[in-house]
Amino acid sequence: MNIRTKSCCCSANKQKSIYDFEVMAMGGKSVSLADYKGKVLLIVNTASKCGFTPQYADLEAINKRFADKGLAILDFPCNQFGNQSPESDAETVQFCQLNYGTTFPQFKKLEVNGENEAPLYTWLKGQKGFAGFDKDHTLTPILEKMLAEADPDYASKADIKWNFTKFLVDREGNVVARFEPTAPMESVASAIEGLL
């Protein structure tokens, strides 16, 4: 299992806007996040074989509820946590569409921590660090134990801890919230609604 704990918050990253970043579409085409100016964004790192994978159904429900009001969900598959997204990009899209009927954009698989992390994620983590898991979630004790064994100082680092971490960005491009995978999806939906 690969849970790197390197944290990078360079001063240059703090000066960037989210709209300065480019990401790769599934087909390999570069996409500028400036294309999403004026929208509320929910940026999430996902995996197809995770205990949190059923959140795809919640994400699609949120997408259907709010897309026409100005929400864009940006899905970035990532295989850094327990090798839980091992398939190809095309297989990931097929899996999500067949099992969860997803219609929001899925991008090329990327890394969210470590030496090869995507610059977008370096910036996002610099905007909103880790603030703990939801204490009422059944998987919280398991995640906390596993992460503490890998790095006793994990809670003080901004790194992404697991699949389905979500960053909420307002219409002006400000990161206003970070939701760990244990956060109730109703809380995520409510926060989105508050920005729309």
Catalytic status, residue 50: yes
Give the whole-angstrom CA distance, residue 47 versus residue 55. Answer: 10
In whole angstroms, give the CA distance from residue 32 to residue 74.
Answer: 12
Residues 86, 161: Cα–Cα separation, whole Å = 18
Q: Which domains does the chain have, with CATH numbers?
A: 11-195 (3.40.30.10)
DSSP designation for 8 = -
Any alpha helices (H) in the chain, and if so which ranges?
A: 11-15, 55-66, 89-100, 119-127, 140-150, 185-195
Tell me what the mean pLDDT of segment 105-130 comes to.
96
- Residues 158-192: tens digit of each pLDDT: 999 999 999 999 999 999 999 999 999 999 999 99
The pTM for the full model equals 0.91
Of the candidates 10, 50, 78, 96, the residue annotated as catalytic is 50
The distance of Cα 119 from the centroid of its chain, to the nearest Å, equals: 13
* Mean pLDDT of the 82-105 span: 90
Average pLDDT over residues 39-63: 96
Whether pLDDT at 90 is above 90: no
Check pLDDT > 90 for residue 86.
no
Lowest mean pLDDT among 56-60, 89-93, 147-151, 153-157: 89-93
| pLDDT mean over 71-91 | 92
